[in-house]
Structure 1
Amino acid sequence: MTTKSKVLGGSFIIDDLDFNSIVIPEELTEEQRMIAETTEDFVAGEIEPADEKIEKLNYELTVEKLRKAGELGLLGADVPEAYGGLGLDKVSSTLISEKMTKASAFALSAGAHVGIGTLPIVYFGNEAQKQKYLPKLASAELIAAYCLTEPSSGSDALGAKATAVLSEDGSHYVLNGTKQFITNAGFADVFIVYAKVNGTDFSTFIVERTMDGVSIGPEEKKMGIKGSSTCPLILEDVKVPVENLLWEVGKGHLIAFNILNIGRYKLAVGCVGSAKDAIEYSAKYANERTQFGRPISSFPLVGKKLAEMNIRTYVMESMVYRTAGLFDVGLADVDYAAADVGYQSAKAIAEYQLECSINKVFASEGLDFVADEGVQIHGGYGFTQEYRIERIYRDSRINRIFEGTNEINRLLIPGTLIKRAMKGELPLLQKAMKLQTELMELRASNLQFEQPLELEAHLLASAKKIFLMAGASAVQKYQTKLEQEQEVLSNLADIMIGVFAMESALLRTQKRISLQGGAKAQLGVDMTSVFVQEEFSRIAELAKETLAAMETGDMLKTQLSVLKKLTKNGALDTVKLKRRIASRVIEAERYVP
């Protein structure tokens, strides 16, 4: 399943897209549905019965289950067939990641292994390295871990202090340093380690557990994800053969950042799966729990929570499958017979690095919202370990820190967009200049909207104009010093995130109407209407705050006047729509798209 044509990364903020350009979950192939079912069956049959033991950090059991997943092909989706994997499309890979999340901390162990642990070799390994490691990683005969963070460098990854010195005979590098918070460290066999050659050239190495000088520190005592291993990796004069240098000296930053793109996207996918689980647990509990002589699901405020949880999850799901579709189209241009096929693949995914960050921020905060409301629906029982929602709540919190904090990602989103514009890759500045003239002549209008989602499409178009207006003002005012204005950049990022989220839900629902008909897509229409209306109001406030931070006096008055014209829209009865959405969730006792 592919979309029709390639879409440039970041172009969503300036272009209007047709719904045929995106992938939606409603159009999965039979083969993809079977892959999802296989994953669900594995989790239900192998992981859920062993959940309590895995949660107590049983290394042997986790490794045993990883190998069973490997036997089923669930760890080889992103590994080419030539090296023992399945070489699946990214939508199929996404399905495996989403369905695995019911496995809780085990899903993190598997995700770290197949994603950031294995993909550096898939994309940047030479032929000998691929032949040596990938078949065993795909089967989980070897378990992988990714080692970037250090005690003194987290967000500042390139500030790492680990060193690598080439031996006099040129046969090996001597590595020294400590890596912190390494997932799977307690039982991993292969470590992707970043270190500076001669203290300057950031590079990547494949380090094996059995090499002399490799040791593992104690397990961290974590708030959540307790069933996953998180330890320091200590390197003391470790002799790593030159054959284990990944790609080239000094190119470690390219590997790290490319792999983080994928890690951010996969994290968002996991948040979608966990959010669906939280809704199911909460809806069932709300139907079972009685107060004042009736189920608490019958109370409107409980229903409102379930509706908002469902809406947020619908939008998250729309975003991640849209992004998977973007990946698949980009990867279709890769020359799979070329020697640098891995690098080409990573570059194709990096086209959407901005979208990866958007997915990561929105989904991690979306899951936190869903989990928090789930605990609230459970009341006091939600605070006890007897109910699964408690674990989802604790496990969720790390997602806003993993794979680059949400603050770092918020700075990257507009920063990446502006860099692309400066390189001439996107006509952002031209669009902004054209819009400035249009905005000065803008007149308030009383538009009438009669067809489903016409108003929502209008609000989306207005939101894009709001971003261009605020963004152009920021670039003009601060120029090269814009990166120092973190509050402005964060607000611009949130507007971009809101636009991508609104558009993903809108295009998905429009496509559903086309494929399924209006009646079957009505719940999607309701959820899209509520989300777009509420998100647009938030975008308007963000823009107002941003303009006020940049301008004063008559200039500010002029800009606020233009903003007011752009943000004029009628009121929507969201109370009625949320009640309608809630009734569907309560009846189904699960997430309902």
Structure 2
Amino acid sequence: METTENKKELLRGGQFLVKETKAEDIFTPEDFSEEQKMMRDSVKEFVDREIWPKKDEFENKNYALTEEVMQKAGELGFLGVAVPEEYDGLGMGFVSTMLVCDYISGATGSIATAFGAHTGIGTLPILLYGTEEQRKKYVPKLSTGEWFGAYCLTEPGAGSDANSGKTKAELTEDGKHYKINGQKMWISNAGFADVFIVFARIEDDKYITGFIVEYDKENPNGITFGEEEKKLGIHSSSTRQVFFNDTTIPAENMLSERGNGFKIAMNALNVGRIKLASATLDAQRRVTDVAIKYANDRVQFKTPIAKFGAIKLKLAEMATSAWVGEAATYRAAKMIENRISLRMENGESHADAELKTFEEYAIECSILKVACSEDIQNCSDEGIQIFGGMGFSADTPMESAWRDARIARIYEGTNEINRMLAVGMLIKKAMKGHVDLLGPAQAVGDELTGIPSMDKPDYSELFAEEKEMVKKLKKVFLMVAGSAVQKFGEDLEEHQQLLLAASDILIETYMAESGILRAEKNAKRFGEDQQKEQIQMAKLYLYHAVDTVNQKAKEGIASFAEGDEQRMMLMGLKRFTKYENMPNIVELRNSIAEKLTSENKYMF
């Protein structure tokens, strides 16, 4: 396990909103250790050899190829990066886990899904909730690729309500076995999995229970499968229904305690959400890279289309979203890694430290899942547009990238669910005293009724105005969410459109701040000239964030405030989203795009 880097204060989950984060305190991809760079390069070489050249085969539903690639990944140790060495894993920290997930997932969504399902929800529940006997029996085989894992939670009619499943587990008369009966759907890796994490209800329990179920083709034990699902994308990801008919398992194969299945499922989703964010990053890099090369090669009106302003706009925005997504994802990953290390230093077991930490940073996990899944969809959509008619053809990689990207907004809880969760969890943290929202929200309220300062701020230092703008965006969230909580109290969860608007303010603030902090940290250590385009990307993203926050805050305010209260809040919003020195975004885009096209690749 990689250790905590010096004794910095570690912000708790959600505290980014009310506490200042300094640039020197965040982790960025430029901070990768030599070991991590070697791991990254090994994964990239593996993908470029085993996956990228075979995209056509993956699109033609070659499920055997997916299994073969997963076995090779296991042999190289990629499936066991997060697994402690005592269970035949590499025992690396969470940043390294995210790094491998990032770079192995970019070439095709089929491998991204197979890898994520196996290393995440297929393995982690046993590692984090299993007994020592269960860990020793299953985890080494899963970490090396000898066995593959799948996760059976979703049922027909259950959807986002994970605890509403009807699959039953009945204890036999001798008390030594459970018989499982039921149906699961949308099960990734079902076609080649050896171990299933199955959730079922015992008697009339309020909550479901988790079980470890082995599958042997020679002795199927009442387990049957539906045909491979016909899907929009991820064509070579095995996705089947799984049926259990008196499937008998030893009683000791219960995972954790009776009725603990819902908690297992929710915590598994927290990990899956941030890993899904990382799984979109290299996809964005590759799509952007291919688009740059095509734009340089494609000549229209005797000019490479990369020279046209409309194409420069697209390339700059694609690169900016990818770069900011990296900043935010690895910022959170290091926070999680440091918190896990700190808990272990204080005597907690590895499993307990991870469980508590992922629960702690559930807000950030949801933020990243939403932001990055939507960024890869937008990126691939713009990639098709740059290719024009060729982008619509299956002969180019853009078409499959767009289709593969679409599932990311549904996986690990839909983006709508995650948006509402992010705000809901933050408010619950505030009520428990884990994040002080009340004091800062009251301060914003006092500021709204006070007399604005007429002093002209000093914005001579790099990012001085941008960091001040981020602070003001946080005030917008506190103003809108604080007023909404006061007005609706516990009934706030019934006002979903208001929660969605508040969530977008929260998401854009976190992402914009991450970009600013990454650019500032790197400008200080590498020089502003060397980081010119990165500084421009941070400013470009913030400009869009301010625009989004302004729009969503108006929408939210109008939904619950009237008269003088509404006027006061709208005046505050105008103050909080006003630039003193508005950036020339056309100039920013052109400069970023010209760097990309001159290098003929995504190089940041």
Give the structure 2 partner of residue 158 of structure 1. Answer: 163
3-state secondary structure, aligned to 1:86: coil
Give the structure 2 partner of residue 22 of structure 1. Answer: 26
Contact kept in structure 1, 2:448 and 2:568, CA below 8 Å: no
Q: Take 1:483 and 1:50, find their aligned partners in 2: how far apart are those partners?
A: 46
Q: Take 1:540 and 1:498, find their aligned partners in 2: how far apart are those partners?
A: 11
Output one character per residue of 1:221-252: Cα deviation in whole Å (capped at 9) or x when no partner: 00000011110011111112111111110111
1:182 and 2:187 equivalent?
A: yes
Q: Choose the corresponding residue for 2:333, options 318, 324, 329.
A: 324
Give the structure 1 partner of residue 143 of structure 2. Answer: 138
What is the TM-score with the length of structure 2 in the denominator?
0.96
Pick which of 437-446 and 267-276 moved more.
Answer: 437-446
1:207 and 2:200 equivalent?
A: no
What is the TM-score with the length of structure 1 in the denominator?
0.97
Contact kept in structure 2, 1:161 and 1:199, CA below 8 Å: no
Q: Take 1:345 and 1:241, find their aligned partners in 2: how far apart are those partners?
A: 27
Change (3 A) 1:8 1:488: same
Contact kept in structure 2, 1:330 and 1:349, CA below 8 Å: no
3-state secondary structure, aligned to 2:528: coil
Pick which of 398-407 and 532-541 moved more.
Answer: 532-541
Q: Take 1:584 and 1:395, find their aligned partners in 2: how far apart are those partners?
A: 28
Q: 1:61-100 to 2 correspondence within 5 Å?
A: 61-100=65-104
Q: Take 1:580 and 1:416, find their aligned partners in 2: how far apart are those partners?
A: 40
3-state secondary structure, aligned to 2:269: helix
1:290 and 2:299 equivalent?
A: yes
Q: Take 1:450 and 1:552, find their aligned partners in 2: how far apart are those partners?
A: 39
Gaps of 5+ in 1: none
1:103 and 2:107 equivalent?
A: yes
Output one character per residue of 1:168-204: Cα deviation in whole Å (capped at 9) or x when no partner: 1111111111111011101111111111111423110
Give the structure 2 partner of residue 563 of structure 1. Answer: 573
Output one character per residue of 1:357-395: Cα deviation in whole Å (capped at 9) or x when no partner: 000000011111111100000000000011101110010
Q: CA deviation at 1:70?
A: 0.9
Q: Take 1:244 and 1:318, find their aligned partners in 2: how far apart are those partners?
A: 40
Q: Choose the corresponding residue for 1:147, options 127, 149, 152.
A: 152
Contact kept in structure 2, 1:165 and 1:173, CA below 8 Å: yes
Superposition RMSD in Å? 1.5
Q: Take 2:92 and 2:472, find their aligned partners in 1: how far apart are those partners?
A: 38
Q: Take 1:333 and 1:91, find their aligned partners in 2: how far apart are those partners?
A: 15
Q: Choose the corresponding residue for 1:309, options 310, 315, 318.
A: 318
Change (3 A) 1:437 1:384: same
1:580 and 2:591 equivalent?
A: yes
3-state secondary structure, aligned to 1:75: helix
Q: Take 2:473 and 2:71, find their aligned partners in 1: how far apart are those partners?
A: 48
Q: CA deviation at 1:14?
A: 1.0
Give the AA of the match of 1:174.
Answer: K
Give the structure 1 partner of residue 402 of structure 2. Answer: 393
Give the structure 2 partner of residue 484 of structure 1. Answer: 494
Give the AA of the match of 2:494.
Answer: Q
- Tell me the percent identity: 40
Q: CA deviation at 1:447?
A: 3.4
3-state secondary structure, aligned to 2:78: coil
3-state secondary structure, aligned to 1:170: coil
Give the structure 1 partner of residue 370 of structure 2. Answer: 361
Q: Take 2:59 and 2:142, find their aligned partners in 1: how far apart are those partners?
A: 23
Pick which of 444-453 and 134-143 moved more.
Answer: 444-453
Size of the aligned set, in residue pairs, is 593
Q: CA deviation at 1:333?
A: 2.1
Pick which of 183-192 and 95-104 moved more.
Answer: 95-104
Contact kept in structure 2, 1:191 and 1:208, CA below 8 Å: yes
Give the structure 2 partner of residue 35 of structure 1. Answer: 39
3-state secondary structure, aligned to 2:343: coil
Q: CA deviation at 1:575?
A: 0.5
Give the structure 1 partner of residue 389 of structure 2. Answer: 380
Q: CA deviation at 1:505?
A: 0.5
Contact kept in structure 1, 2:199 and 2:210, CA below 8 Å: yes
Q: Take 1:132 and 1:117, find their aligned partners in 2: how far apart are those partners?
A: 14
Q: CA deviation at 1:444?
A: 6.0
Pick which of 332-341 and 35-44 moved more.
Answer: 332-341
Contact kept in structure 1, 2:107 and 2:283, CA below 8 Å: no
Contact kept in structure 2, 1:310 and 1:592, CA below 8 Å: no
Change (3 A) 1:472 1:339: closer
Q: Choose the corresponding residue for 1:467, options 455, 471, 477.
A: 477
Give the structure 2 partner of residue 450 of structure 1. Answer: 460
Contact kept in structure 2, 1:97 and 1:266, CA below 8 Å: yes
Contact kept in structure 1, 2:366 and 2:422, CA below 8 Å: yes
Contact kept in structure 2, 1:381 and 1:387, CA below 8 Å: yes
Pick which of 506-515 and 438-447 moved more.
Answer: 438-447
Output one character per residue of 1:441-480: Cα deviation in whole Å (capped at 9) or x when no partner: 1416453522221111111010011111111110011011
Q: 1:405-420 to 2 correspondence within 5 Å?
A: 405-420=414-429
Give the AA of the match of 1:573.
Answer: N
3-state secondary structure, aligned to 1:333: helix
Q: Take 2:267 and 2:39, find their aligned partners in 1: how far apart are those partners?
A: 26
Give the structure 2 partner of residue 197 of structure 1. Answer: 202
Change (3 A) 1:336 1:236: farther
Q: Take 1:182 and 1:61, find their aligned partners in 2: how far apart are those partners?
A: 18
Give the structure 2 partner of residue 346 of structure 1. Answer: 355
Q: Take 1:337 and 1:229, find their aligned partners in 2: how far apart are those partners?
A: 42
Contact kept in structure 2, 1:444 and 1:565, CA below 8 Å: no
Gaps of 5+ in 2: none
Contact kept in structure 2, 1:276 and 1:590, CA below 8 Å: no
Q: Take 2:394 and 2:584, find their aligned partners in 1: how far apart are those partners?
A: 38
